[in-house]
Structure 1
């Protein structure tokens, strides 16, 4: 099994991601060393928290270039904040530039939206929700359209290129991209490491993926 590196930039759910990857057979290293990331066969970029802190930590740990190189050269999986950070710009923290690896913006769910039953839409979007696949992809092999994954987020991605969208889900009136794929890169807004059988299947597919479609 090829070596998989989980990027450690000082925040996020690193250990739970690493344990889930190990469960599906990956040899995993958690590292914030750019040289280790560059030497990896595949890279996972997880994260929880705020966009401003994420970008600041990447810069402070000297990881920006290593992340950019990995995202353009080897099988790469972004999770939650690790998806949002790939885009050009986020509304979070008063407006934060992202890594610019995927054209588009990250926007916040509007507060106070009234749902059909009269209740207000909750922000953050937290808990289980169904995804709708827009196309097939090796990382989603064996995962049915409409399967449930676990989400925790207040912001969602709006990619400029619809061709990059791999799956969508809905929170209230907002239908948003919950998975993107382009070349050797796949990224999800949901947490596969918290999503039981479907999430483990996705991670198993990733660790056996050669980065091509």
Structure 2
């Protein structure tokens, strides 16, 4: 437990895929008490878990499983403990990823397939705007024309998960466009994620991370 007034404890999951030092610095800037580790108990007991990711979908999944990250994410979410994924750390939350025609299994927290971007210029590298829902907590206080930093060649183009229970809040999905619309961020109960890199998105990214930390 974190005592009132103290910084929230956030673990950056170190499973070999992701710029953990950049994430650590950005989270510390946003006010968190940050630790980089793959230790199971430390990751389970933190107020928030951040899952970074760079490289290939299949390789990230292999590294995540080797570090028991799939167990950590699943157990945290089953207990309503916050998890946030970034870039490929977001993509592996979906059911499948297809790279070079080969399908790989993801964590299946959300239905959907990560596939090549439908654009003439790939990768999508640089700054882009997003279209966030009006009730977004992640983007609260940020201007609609704010820009975020993307580096990716794959994305999810179709979102199918909704809730039939009126007592439950439907997932809030943020979109961006590069050639065709794709999922840029998701807020779904304890599980949040961004396709872009908030740790590389300057003041806007810091504000966004502070919004997440404020919910922990």
With normalisation by structure 2, the TM-score equals 0.87
Matched, 1:36 2:42: yes
Structure-1 separation of matches of 2:178 and 2:189: 28
Matched, 1:96 2:114: no
82-91 or 54-63, larger mean C-alpha shift: 54-63
CA contact (8 A) 1:156 1:176 kept: yes
CA deviation profile, 1:20-68 (whole Å, cap 9, x unmatched): 1111211001111121111111111111111111111111122211111
CA deviation profile, 1:85-115 (whole Å, cap 9, x unmatched): 00000112511100001111111124xx5xx
Of residues 114, 117, 132 in structure 2, which corresponds to 1:109? 117
CA deviation profile, 1:73-92 (whole Å, cap 9, x unmatched): 22221100111000000112
3-state SS, counterpart of residue 175 of structure 2: strand
Cα root mean square deviation, aligned: 1.5
Matched, 1:140 2:139: yes
CA contact (8 A) 1:105 1:159 kept: no
3-state SS, counterpart of residue 128 of structure 1: strand
Matched, 1:62 2:82: no
Identify, as 1 or 2, the structure richer in helix: 1
* Equivalent position of 1:169 in the other structure: 176
Of residues 177, 201, 205 in structure 2, which corresponds to 1:199? 205
Please report how far the alpha carbon of residue 165 of structure 1 lies from its aligned counterpart in structure 2 after TM superposition.
Answer: 4.4
Structure 1: which 5+ runs fail to align? 114-120
Structure-2 separation of matches of 1:5 and 1:142: 25
Structure-1 separation of matches of 2:174 and 2:29: 25
With normalisation by structure 1, the TM-score equals 0.89
C-alpha distance 81-71 of structure 1, shift in aligned 2 (>3 A): farther
CA contact (8 A) 1:87 1:159 kept: no
Please report how far the alpha carbon of residue 4 of structure 1 lies from its aligned counterpart in structure 2 after TM superposition.
Answer: 0.5
Structure-2 separation of matches of 1:59 and 1:43: 16
CA contact (8 A) 1:46 1:79 kept: yes
Q: Tell me the matched-pair count.
A: 200
Structure 2: which 5+ runs fail to align? 1-6, 163-169
CA contact (8 A) 1:41 1:74 kept: yes
